[in-house]
Amino acid sequence: MLFRFLTLVNLLLVMNPLIAQEKIFLHQNWQFKNSTEKIWKKATVPGLLHSDLLDHKIILDPFYGQNENELQQFGKDNWDYKTVFEADEALLSNRKIRLGFEGLDTYAKVYLNDHLILEADNMHRRWEVDCKAFLKLGKNQLLVKFQSPFNYLEEKYGNNFRVLPASNDPSPKKESAYVRKAPFQFGWDWAPRIVTAGIWRPVYLEVHNNTYLKGQYFSTQKIEKDKATVTARFELGFIDNKNSDLQIEIYDAASDQLLASRKINSEADLNFTFEIQNPKLWWSNGLGEAHLYDVEIRLLRNNHLLDKKNQKFGIRTIELVQEKDRIGTSYFFRLNGKDFFIKGANYIPQDILLNRVTEDQKRKLVQDAQNANMNMLRVWGGGIYESDSFYDLCDEHGILVWQDFMFACGSYPADDDFIHNVVSEVEDVAKRIGNHPCLALFCGNNEVEVAWFNWDWQGQYDMSEEDSAKIWNDQVKLFNDTIPETLFKVLPGVNYVHTSPLSNWGKLENFNHSSMHYWGVWHGADDFSGFEKYIGRFNSEYGFQSFPEMSTIKKFAPDEQLSLDSEVMKHHQKSYVGNERIREFAVQYFAEPKNFEDFVYLSQLTQAYGIQTAVLAHRIKKGHCMGSIYWQLNDCWPCPSWSSIDYYDNKKALYYWVKKAYEPILPVLKKEDDYFKLYLLNDDFNENALEVSLTVKDFSGKLQWVKEYSLITKENANEVLANFSKERFSNDLFAEIEISIKGEKQSSYIYTFAEPKELALQDPGLSYRVEKIKDSLQMTITAKSFAKSVFVSSNEVGLQYSDNFFDLAPGSSKTIIIKNANDDRRFEIKSLFDCLEVLFCLAD
């Protein structure tokens, strides 16, 4: 079959000399074995060792119970992967044949027909090598021998190994600092330790018969009223020395209109500018359309087409503005000349077994971010540089990306080998993803600098002054010199900061400067009032943990472990702070949980309450503060964590509450000293003529008073609509704020006037109606009296609710759409007054 496929491809190549290159994926016939054993077993490529072990039932589900403990040896062993593929004459007749790996995890020796043709030592980069000389007619064997990072380091350093700080790596030697492999796989405060190996991204042969297009980069130089100046840069791959008489032409792919053409006679000609008339700009979510240009690039010699490629790009300028101002030091983004507020989340890899993440899962998550009114994701530095498709999705959905380089919470060596490795990694990553309009910022690392100055590593790791100076100089060399110098060579002028945060939360003055990870809540002793007191200029991390819902917990814990302090629940909690902190806060803000299920529900409300408090405080202080990126969007396994969407794609209360808090135009009623202030938070750049009504009722529905306002909003400016003395509100009242345009209701919001625990809630008398409409369920829930935080859940994971964890005014109904529900799913509806309100099963 494979043979036939290759033959066909090569026939095409022979018959059509215009096709200069072709990729042939080598994903068939793979086998693997422990390198000390003899028997080969079937393997999946692309894939990872632990997935293969799972497929063969050699290991149990690493997420269940405490199974993680049982599989540590597999990451310490060495593993071999091999395949056999056929090469025919047509293939071998190609002038140039390259073997490429889009990802090898991590220390790998690659043998083609027993010739060592590649030695890899970095999971984060692509590898390509000429292999024509080693291919033969007929069967060819490709063998990849993976050495575990531990064995590799042992062999390299022996007794001279020097432990470097790596706060989340539980191993005493903290090897992860030396290995260019996703840091979180060595364990993190939300991740198990699964040290994988394998051919984790595609592997292919690529053939070339002519000079070819190897890379193409477009960046916006200038945007004027009716034209944009775009810089195009190209990289060519060569077969021979005939590099003259070339021509590059750029066409609009849809209209086939020629946009630019250039004669190429030297390296310098590969970099040129051209203009696009009446450009359509790329905007982030909320500011406008994320328009993408699709161009076809043709490479010609004497009018003969040598190669062609399609490439998308956006016309946009983005600056990170870091200037001294009257407060301190600013940190905000300017997109196409507009200064705007960033609303987003920190993104981590979607599965610790990275090969399991599907394209659908990626699309879904980026769409979820867009639907939650986010305009930025931070691809955090302890994971991976994402796949190309992830950045494509961000381009399409107007989600800006803050891209960390993959260094987090540790110190790193800076010897020649390591620096050389990092240079190759940075070059490769910048070339691979640098073209995307979504890319707003590259950041050297996560928390390497704050950790150095605040976490007492010098004491913990017993460093002499000399050691300490050396280690610190190494960090400066890496993040202030090597990485930016390399990055700017590939992407001149791109935004770069050497670390996040630039300012630490320890001192009040620091909140006037730059980026901030505020961890006084959770890692410090602050309660949620800290979120209102301590507001950085740009909050790139802050968060609070919760438990995933019961359907997810039951996937990893047997019934007898369903308690907060059971062994399994403790095992899945990877933060040193522990599960008890979640309970303390739930009791402080909501209620003493009646049982474990009740605790799980309250944990989510507590988290949502805290983070919503933070987001609103950040937005109210727009100007001082220009960004809010909470920790963390998603999970890589099922566990209690800071996430807003759990591993099985159940959205937590946090997701729905943040989605509201991130709305572009949002009325907020907030207690400040002796007053309740009615704010209109406004991130919209248009002028809107709005009517705002505020209706106050008691929990049984009796009307107290009403106020109405009309206004025309100002571009991107918050306003205070009213101040009310606090006596006008009590713990048995709620307000419904409606926004209308020309009498037509656009949105409505409910606010209560005391902390949830203080509310004088009464039995809401919930009832429901369910209808099946096509493949979705439509559930209408009605409340007799005020219902707080109504939560619909099922006994299965992954259901998609159009809304959840919402309040209902007395006598009102809300209809939600539930997707992915089978007829035999059981549902529960609960509210804060009473858990387990209604139990039903559609099949009953």
Residues that bind ligand BMA (CB under 6 A): 188-190, 408-409, 446-447, 517, 541, 631
Return the number of the residue (541 or 549) whose C-beta is nearest ligand BMA: 541
Least Å distance, CB 412 to ligand BMA, is: 15
Pick the closer one to ligand BMA by CB: 188 or 805: 188
Distance of closest approach, residue 454 Cβ to ligand BMA, in angstroms = 12
Alpha-carbon Rg for the chain, nearest whole angstrom, is 29
Least distance in angstroms from the C-beta of 515 to ligand BMA:
12
Query: Residue 825 CA to chain centroid, in angstroms?
Result: 31
3-state secondary structure of 571: helix
The helix/strand/coil state of 432 is helix
DSSP 314-336: ----EEEE--B-SSSB--EEEET
* Least gap, CB of 523 to ligand BMA (angstroms): 6
Contact 735, 696 (CB under 8 A): yes
The residue (of 190 and 390) whose beta carbon lies closer to ligand BMA is 190
Q: Tokens 């705002």 appear where?
A: 692
Of 378 and 697, nearer to ligand BMA (C-beta) is 378
Residues 723 and 242: their CA atoms lie apart, in Å, by 76
Task: Identify the bridge partners of residue 146 per DSSP, sorted by sequence position.
Answer: 79, 108
Single out the residue of 761, 771, 764, 766 nearest to residue 781, CA to CA.
Answer: 766
Task: Report in angstroms how near the CB of residue 575 gets to ligand BMA at its nearest.
Answer: 6
Q: 118 Cβ partners below 8 Å, 6+ apart? A: 99, 101, 108, 109, 110, 127, 129
CB of 179 to ligand BMA, least distance (A): 17
Min. distance of Cβ 504 from ligand BMA in angstroms?
Answer: 11
Structure tokens at 809: 């005014």
Q: Which is nearer to ligand BMA, 541 or 837 (CB)?
A: 541
Instruction: Give long-range contacts, CB 8 A cutoff, 24+ apart: 665-673.
Output: 665/690, 665/713, 665/739, 665/747, 666/619, 666/749, 667/692, 667/721, 667/737, 667/739, 667/749, 668/616, 668/620, 668/751, 669/694, 669/735, 669/737, 669/751, 669/753, 670/616, 670/620, 671/726, 671/753
Q: 140 or 604, CB closer to ligand BMA? A: 604
127 vs 188, which CB is nearer to ligand BMA?
A: 188
Would you say 315 or 448 has its CB closer to ligand BMA?
448
- Listed residue (409, 440, 404) closest to 425, CA to CA: 404
For residue 801, the minimal CB distance to ligand BMA (Å) is 27
Q: Which of 264, 190, 257 is nearest to 522 (CA)?
A: 190
Give the shortest CB-185-to-ligand BMA separation in angstroms: 14
Q: Which residue, 127, 170, 41, is CA-closest to 571? A: 170
Closest CA to 350 of 338, 337, 363, 335: 363
Q: Quick check: helix, strand or coil at residue 530?
A: helix
Q: With CA atoms as reference, report the closest residue to 572 among 48, 67, 46, 95.
A: 67
- In the bound state with ligand BMA, the residue whose beta carbon lies nearer, of 183 and 593, is 183
- Closer residue to ligand BMA in complex, CB, 148/510: 510
Contact 102, 201 (CB under 8 A): yes
Nearer to ligand BMA by Cβ, of 418 and 518: the residue is 518
Residue pair 679/620 in contact (Cβ under 8 Å)? The answer is yes
Most distant pair of Cα atoms in the chain: their distance: 88
Q: Are 230 and 391 in contact (CB under 8 A)?
A: no
Q: Minimal distance in Å, beta carbon 500 to ligand BMA?
A: 8
Using alpha carbons only, what angle is made at residue 282 by residues 280 and 284, rounded to the nearest 5 degrees?
145
Provide the minimum distance between the beta carbon of 585 and ligand BMA in the complex, in angstroms, as a whole number. 15
Specify the residue, 121 or 449, whose C-beta has the smaller distance to ligand BMA: 449
Measured CA to CA, the distance from residue 801 to residue 793 in angstroms comes to 9
Tell me the closest approach of the beta carbon of residue 395 to ligand BMA, in angstroms. Answer: 25
Please say which residue, 446 or 794, places its beta carbon nearer to ligand BMA: 446
CB of 541 to ligand BMA, least distance (A): 5
CB atoms inside a 10 Å sphere around CB 838: 14
Please give the single-letter amino acid code of residue 102.
E
Kindly state the smallest distance separating residue 442's Cβ from ligand BMA, in Å: 17
- Comparing CB distances to ligand BMA, the nearer of 110 and 516 is 516
Q: Among residues 362 and 517, whose Cβ is nearest to ligand BMA?
A: 517
| Beta strands 376-379 and 342-347, pairing class | parallel
Q: From residue 10, how far is each of 3, 13, 237, 724 by CA, in Å?
A: 11, 5, 20, 77
Measured CA to CA in angstroms, residue 269 lies from 262, 263, 495, 722, 751 at distances of 8, 7, 25, 62, 62
Q: Smallest gap, in angstroms, from Cβ of residue 188 to ligand BMA?
A: 6
Q: Which is nearer to ligand BMA, 81 or 518 (CB)?
A: 518
CB of 404 to ligand BMA, least distance (A): 9
Give the nearer residue to ligand BMA in terms of CB position, either 408 or 779.
408
| Placement of tokens 């301590």 in the chain | 534
In whole angstroms, give the CA distance from residue 270 to residue 262: 8
| Residue 405 in tokens | 């380089």
Nearer to ligand BMA, 611 or 792 (CB): 611
Residue 104 contacts residue 127 (beta carbons within 8 Å): yes
Closest CA to 387 of 419, 361, 421, 418: 361
Of 155, 45, 169, 43, give the one whose Cα is nearest residue 107.
155
Given a contact cutoff of 8 angstroms between Cβ atoms, the answer to whether 642 and 687 are in contact is no
Beta-carbon count within 10 A of 190 CB = 24
Asked if residues 74 and 54 have their Cβ atoms less than 8 Å apart, the reply is no
Output the smallest distance, CB 191 to ligand BMA, in A: 8
Q: Which two tokens stand for residue 802?
A: 């159009």
Helix (H, G, I), strand (E, B) or coil at 634: coil
Size (the chain), residues: 844
**To the nearest whole angstrom, how small is the minimum distance from the Cβ of residue 378 to ligand BMA?**
10
